[in-house]
Structure formats: structure tokens, C-alpha cells
Structure 1
Amino acid sequence: MKLYLDPGHGGQDPGAQGHGLNEKDVTLDIALKLRTILQNDYENVQVKMSRTSDTTKSLSQRTSEANAWGADYYLSIHINSATSSASGYEDYIYIGLSNSLTAKNQGIIHEEVLNVNELKDRGKKKANFHVLRESSMPAVLTENGFITNAHDAALMKQASWRQKVAQGHANGLAKIFHLKRKSQPEPTPPIPSPGTLYKVIATSFKSRENADELVTLLHDKGFEAFVNSTTISGETWYRVQAGAFSDRSNAEERLTQLHKAGFKDSFLIAE
């Protein structure tokens, strides 16, 4: 899918103004967010923007560029203005189209954007706008709220709202062109943090010689064992360790084996 994405106005043309906002800034931010969503989330998507910064570009330059590129769809993003009481979302296709694929696509965009934009529905409309008339591919122009309305403008000032509007447009385009989501890479498994270690102690001695003798006896019985010294209340003790397990059930099984083999003083410690 080749999308020509047209943030309205720009440069010397600020577009509509109100409540400290310029239309050209809001439309550009929504369009840039939309481009990022499409390129990051979907396969086989190409996006060409009429502008990616605050530059001046004529309407004829925009449509000529889209036509020469061979875009599959022309999406023009705008913000409305009127009296302070006017509010809500509406979109437009060329006035000469009815019962067409373009009209069907308009309905999909309309529904998906309204699902997320928290604006009143002003309906699907038609107009003789240049970008709709002169573009040779299906085209829609969306009017995303009224910059002259306090409620709508308050939303426009929120980056999270502009992100949602971009996502609504992306959802509509994904439905129209049956876009396939990119497969997400498998998350890197977290490095396990050190857990509890269950040590099986055959017994402890104050005498190293006695501990060594028990190690020999355990070896004769088929158990791996070694001496591990530790200090308790200022005294050195020699523990004969016969296993260490992260799973307590495995440690308990080894302890049972030791008891059955006659090493009744065996016990577990958790560290």
C-alpha cells in the first residue's frame, strides 16, 4: 500500500487558528504519528508525506506529487474552524462520487477515527476540495475537531489525543487495505534472579577429621559429598554437604535417600 499523507497547510500558511494553536502544527504532529504507526506495525506499507516539517507547499504541488508517485490512497489531515459553538469530527470525499469504493472507504475511516477521538459525529460529507478533485487515486480529507471550540482545542493540545487520532486513521487504513501486522519479535527472557538454594547437610562436626570420614562413607554409599566450613557463634563447624538444589522437592528427595541409607542426622538449610 502506497499512502500519500498530506498534513494540511504549513510554512507561511498557518491554517486555522484558535486557543493558542495553529492548524499546521496539529495536522503535522498527527500525520507524523500516523506514519510511525504504519511503518512500525504493518508490512508492505510505503508512506510519502507532502511535508515532514513546517514548510510551504501549494495544493497543486501536493496532488501532482501524489499522482506522479502512483499512490494508492490520498489522506489529507485537517483541523476545522467556525464559531466557538461548532465542534466535532467530519470527513470529505469528492462531491462527484457516490456509491463508490471511495465512499465505502470514507465510511471505514469515519468509523475508526470516531471510535477513539472523543468528538461529536458531524457526518460523512462531500466537497469540491482541490486535493479530492485533482488526485487520481481514492482520497479522503478528515477534519479533526474545531480549533475555535474550547473543548476540541483542549483535546488537540494533548499529545495522547493526537496519538489516538493517528491510531484511528491507521486502523481505518489497515481495514481498507487489509494490512498485515508485522510479527513481533519474541521477548528476551528475563535473566533469572538468584533464588533460594536448598542445601542437604548430612551432619556437622567441630572436627575436620570427623567430617572427612563421613565424606568417605557417603562416597562409599554412592552419594556425592564434600566439607563446607562455616562459623556459628564464633566457632568453626565443618558441614558435610550432600547436595544443593533450587527446587525444594528435589532437596527433600535427597534428604529422604540419606535417611533411608542410615544418615539420620541429615537436614536441610535454605540460603
Structure 2
Amino acid sequence: MTSVKFFNGYSMPLVGLGTWQSSDPTELEKALDAALEAGYRHIDTAYMYENEAVIGGVLKRWLDSGKIKREELFVVTKLPPIGMRPEHVPHFIQLSLKSLQLDYLDLYLVHMPVGFNRPQIDRIMKVSKIQPANHQIELHAYFQRPALVEACKKHNITIVAYAPIGSPGRKQLYAARGITFTPIGIMEDPVVVEIAKNHSKTPAQVLMRLLVQQEIAVIPKSVNPERLRQNFDLFSFELTPTELEKLKALDQGPDGRTFSMNLLGPALKEHPEGKYVFID
């Protein structure tokens, strides 16, 4: 299985290209070309990433050349926090469509909704006319969130894991903002390394295979052509039940979380849903 189905029957590729921190136009263009050549069709971006126009230019070039068709692509972008009022949504959708040079989006997410945990999901399911299709959350071997994953599957909400290998590239970004970030070292974990050797794969491939084998999509970010190809090669091997048990035993629960919503400051504490941020 290389894709997962939404409640309405549409499908999403299980492996996508994450583009957070990809703001250098030349670097991003090269990465996108390499990704599309490697077979990526799921592209994840956001208004806040300030790279939709670059992505749109590359996609238009590929579409105009006939090398790919629009229906082969799965393009995701997100409503920014400054647009989270009903009357603002059409405005921001149109801005993203214009930048991406597309007529439609395949998935539109609410960027950084406060909390969005099990109680909130249950509340939304009871009142929504159209149910949520997807939940994009931090998810990796050290932070597996089984209860939240089960709640999403119960309601037929697909899951995309961001930071599936711990997002080690954040160290440089955070340092530029005066924030200390120590990579969690998940790819150096002895269990992960051993399993990778058993399959002649990289630790990153094993970590992402853990997720896609559970029908959880992953959106690793890379600008290295060889690493892009490796990250896409997740379907040429399968983890054994014993290996899955060993990897699931690495879960550290809330202590494994690496993205802190405290970066949002006092506004988060004052938000009526703020109490849900660190609860699954």
C-alpha cells in the first residue's frame, strides 16, 4: 500500500515532501525537481512557509511540459493562524492558489489549531457537517501517541506525521532565533540502527517505515537528492512483528515531544482551548 484513503474515497500518497524551512528559491527548486524525478507526488507546504510561489513555479513547469498531470499530484497547504475566522478562509485559499498556480488544492489544513486532541475531535465529529479529513501531528518512534492515533482511526481521519525522524534540521533554524534545540538522537538509537542494518536501509527509512506500515503518512524534508530518493524508498521492505514491537517500545510518551507550543507565548495560555495543547 503506497497511499491511504480519506472518508470520501480520495487517496493521499503515504510519502510526501515536507517543505518547512525551505525558503531559498534555488535550493527549493532543485529539491522539488529531484523529488518529482524520484516519484514524489505529495507536496506539503503552507502560507506561513513563504515558499508557495517557488513551488508553484516548479509545478507549473512540470505540468506544462506534460511530464506529470494535475490529477497525479497531491498538494497540501495550510490556513495561517492570522486567517482563522470563517470570513478570512476564502481570501487565504485564493492567495495560496494564486501562488501555487493551481485551480484547486487536494488538502487544506488549519495551521497550528490549538490542541485538536481526542475530546476536541469528538466534539467536532458531533457537530460538523463535513468531518475533518486529516490530522497532521508530530509523530515519531519516541512520541507515538497511540491514543490519539486510535481516536483518529476510529473517526476515519487520516494522519500525516511531521518530524517523522525528529526534525534534526531545526537546530540551525532555532539557533538563528536564539532558541536552544538539541536533536533527540533518534536515528542513532541502537534499536533503530540494528534494524536498519538488518534490512540494509538507513535509520531514517526504518523510522518512517514504522509509520507508513501503520497507514500513517510521512512528510520528510530534504534538499539532498540521494536522501530524497532514500526517503521515498519505503515500500521495498517490511518490518517484522518483532521489529515493530522493538520500535514501539521506544515510545517515551509526552517526554518524547520535541515541538513546544510554548513558543506561541502568552496568547496560547489565554486561548480558550489552550488547556488542551499538551493532552492527547
Higher strand share: 1
TM-score range, shorter chain: under 0.3
Larger radius of gyration: 1
Q: Taking CA–CA contacts closer than 8 Å with sequence separation of 6 or more, which of the two structures ends up with the larger relative contact order?
A: 2
Structure (1/2) with the larger helix percentage: 2
Q: TM (normalized to structure 1)? A: 0.23
